[in-house]
Structure 1
Amino acid sequence: MMVLGLVTLVLHGTLAGLYYAFSMSVMPGLRAVDATAAGEAMRGINRKIQTPWLFVPFLGAPVAALVAGFLASDPAAPWYFAAAGVNLVGSLVVTASINVPLNNALDAGRITFGDYAPRWTAFNTVRAVATVASLVLVGVALTR
């Protein structure tokens, strides 16, 4: 069970770090250059990020937390379930309902980078906060 708990922690930490890095450095960096170049760069990022390096933590973190919740002892289980729920809503739902549609609109030319960046970054920050919270919840579960 300890190995599953640590894997769950690493998956949540990886995802939290990704979202944090985008909100704190990538998007401000892109907003500091020409909007046309920034939009082209973001379209490239959106295409290249879709690899197992993204999908394993993106899909694996909430699944691992859920499985850990079912396998954990009584004091730890609710913390794992909470981590899974926070991650599902704060990462998966936000991504599917807001960030990916914005990415698709940018890719199709239906939105300018200037209109895209503030909204995308705000919701990416929501994802960062949610995954940091789920990371903390997994950490608490590991102490139970």
Structure 2
Amino acid sequence: MFALRVTALIAATMTTGLMAGVFGLYQHTVMTGLGRTGDRTFIGAFQAIDRAIINPWFMLSFLGALLFTAVSAFLNPGRQILPWVLAALVLYIVVFAITIAVNVPMNDALKAAGDPGRIPDPAAVRAAFDEARWVAWNLVRTLATTAAFGCLCWALVARGKLG
């Protein structure tokens, strides 16, 4: 049982850390770079990135962070670890909800605009997308996932002290 507890906690920490990295890179690199492009380039590049990110590696991390953290909370009921794992779980549930309720619908709406080369008014499509809103919610995801990662790191430290 010890090996399963530790494995779940390590998997939760790793997948949550990967997601913190993904959201962080979008925040300070991807969206910053795209923000400096023209409307057609922004739309086309964002559509291409959004299609590319839906892959097994991303989904393993995105869904795995939620699943492994929940499993870790279930398997590690001790007072030294459980509060940190539960805090990480709550934070990641917030991230998951924001992603499903805000970012994914915005991404889908931009993809539904179609081929950027055929959009008569790309500036209107980009304005309707509302980059500032997407970036603001992504900042919340970045901060919450980073905090969840920190909680899980501390849970590993606490786990190590227990032996």
Q: TM-score, normalised by structure 1?
A: 0.92
Structure 1 CA distance for aligned equivalents of residues 127 and 29 of structure 2: 17
* SS class of match (2:15): helix
Among candidates 45, 49, 58, match of residue 45 of structure 1: 49
In structure 1, the partner of 2:118 is none
In structure 1, the partner of 2:33 is 29
In structure 1, the partner of 2:138 is 124
In structure 1, the partner of 2:92 is 87
CA contact (8 A) 1:20 1:128 kept: yes
Among candidates 6, 9, 16, match of residue 5 of structure 1: 9
Q: How does 1:92-111 map to 2 (within 5 A)?
A: 92-109=96-113
CA contact (8 A) 1:62 1:83 kept: no
Q: TM-score, normalised by structure 2?
A: 0.82
* Moved segments of 4+, more than 3 Å: none
In structure 2, the partner of 1:113 is 126
In structure 2, the partner of 1:64 is 68
Alpha-carbon offset, residue 112 of structure 1? 2.1
Q: Say how many residue pairs are matched.
A: 143
Which runs of 5 or more residues in structure 2 are unaligned? Answer: 115-123, 159-163
Structure 1 CA distance for aligned equivalents of residues 27 and 128 of structure 2: 16
State percent identity of aligned pairs.
31
Give the RMSD, CA atoms, in angstroms: 1.5
Structure 1 CA distance for aligned equivalents of residues 31 and 127 of structure 2: 11
Return the letter of the residue paired with 2:143.
V
